[in-house]
Amino acid sequence: MPDLIRMENIIKNYGPVQALSGVDLSVGEKEIVGLLGDNGAGKSTLIKVLSGAVPISSGKIFVRGQEVTIKSTTDAIGHGIETIYQDSALVTQLSIARNLFLGREPYKGPAFLGRLDEEMMNAVASDLLRKVGISKNIPPTTPIGALSGGERQAVAIARAMHFDSDLIILDEPTNNLGVAETQGVLNFIRGARESGHSCIFIAHNIHHVFQVVDRIIVMRRGRVVADDIRPGNSTVEQVERVITGMDEHVPV
């Protein structure tokens, strides 16, 4: 079976800055991958390329063995790739339910009459909020602006779950989150595999990554320097040495 995602020799230049210098990376079906690296290593650039936020300078991207062109977020979503940033694209004035269905609103009766199916959206939203671990009873009609950072994160995660993306990318989703909210995000990532999703999880907290991933990929200065570190048979300290380049020997 081909990998869900394969990236080959990806180069990304920002003017004179080469953010990605020939990256090869793959993610299997139902695989949870942790992407680690110091500040400026190229992690966010790599996932921006995959999620259609920035164009690549050269290289190839394959989804289940088929070469694809990803030029926009819409292209990425069309290929089953959903990305969750710390500041996810949520509309603060709209309700939780409306944000979940943003751009994919269900209608009551013919769409040209423009009657949104609010009941359906609210019911699905309530159910999803429970699933992503928002235990407080927040009505789905609450505007996003009234939620905490972690709760907003949970809404973005709920959206990726509901629309059944094949690959869910989380770029530092646990930044600025409280303990309970962080556990909620980690639980979600663990659950993603069981529900058939693959994930790329970027975080600076190696302990969080160790708790949930199958495999760790390390980037340094625009290159992948290790791509098969298994949390089961390496230590946090070993991975730290790979990240900083103190240890050229890759633990596997």
Ligand X SMILES: Nc1ncnc2c1ncn2[C@@H]1O[C@H](COP(=O)(O)OP(=O)(O)OP(=O)(O)O)[C@@H](O)[C@H]1O
Residues within the interface to ligand X (CB under 6 A): 14, 17, 19, 37, 39-45
Q: Is 19 or 121 the residue whose CB approaches Mg ion more closely?
A: 19
Smallest distance, Å, CB 161 to ligand X? Answer: 24
Q: Is 39 or 66 the residue whose CB approaches Mg ion more closely?
A: 39
Q: Is 89 or 123 the residue whose CB approaches ligand X more closely?
A: 89
CA 39-246-6 angle, 5° bins? 55
Smallest distance, Å, CB 111 to ligand X? Answer: 38
SS3 (DSSP) at 207: helix
Q: Is 13 or 234 the residue whose CB approaches ligand X more closely?
A: 13
Distance CA 115, CA 53 (A): 32
Smallest distance, Å, CB 203 to ligand X? Answer: 9
Other beta carbons less than 10 A from residue 45's beta carbon: 23
State the sign of the Cα–Cα–Cα–Cα dihedral 208, 210, 215, 219: positive
40 interacts with, out of ligand X, Mg ion, none, CB within 5 to 8 A per kind:
ligand X
42 interacts with, out of Mg ion, ligand X, none, CB within 5 to 8 A per kind:
ligand X
Q: Is 41 or 97 the residue whose CB approaches ligand X more closely?
A: 41
95 interacts with, out of Mg ion, ligand X, none, CB within 5 to 8 A per kind:
none
Q: Is 85 or 101 the residue whose CB approaches Mg ion more closely?
A: 85
Smallest distance, Å, CB 17 to ligand X? Answer: 5
Residue 1: Cβ-neighbour burial (10 angstroms; 0-12, 13-18, 19+):
exposed
Smallest distance, Å, CB 44 to ligand X? Answer: 3
State the sign of the Cα–Cα–Cα–Cα dihedral 238, 37, 78, 125: positive
Smallest distance, Å, CB 57 to ligand X? Answer: 12
Tell me the residue number closest to Mg ion, measured at CB.
44
Q: Which is it for strands 32-36 and 215-220: parallel, antiparallel or unpaired?
A: parallel
Q: Could you list the residues that contact Mg ion (CB under 5 A)?
A: 44
Listed as own residue / partner, the contacts of 14-23 with beta carbons closer than 8 Å and 24 or more positions apart are 18/222, 19/45, 19/222, 20/45, 20/46, 20/49, 20/56, 20/222, 21/221, 21/222, 21/223, 22/59, 22/223, 23/59, 23/219, 23/222, 23/223, 23/224
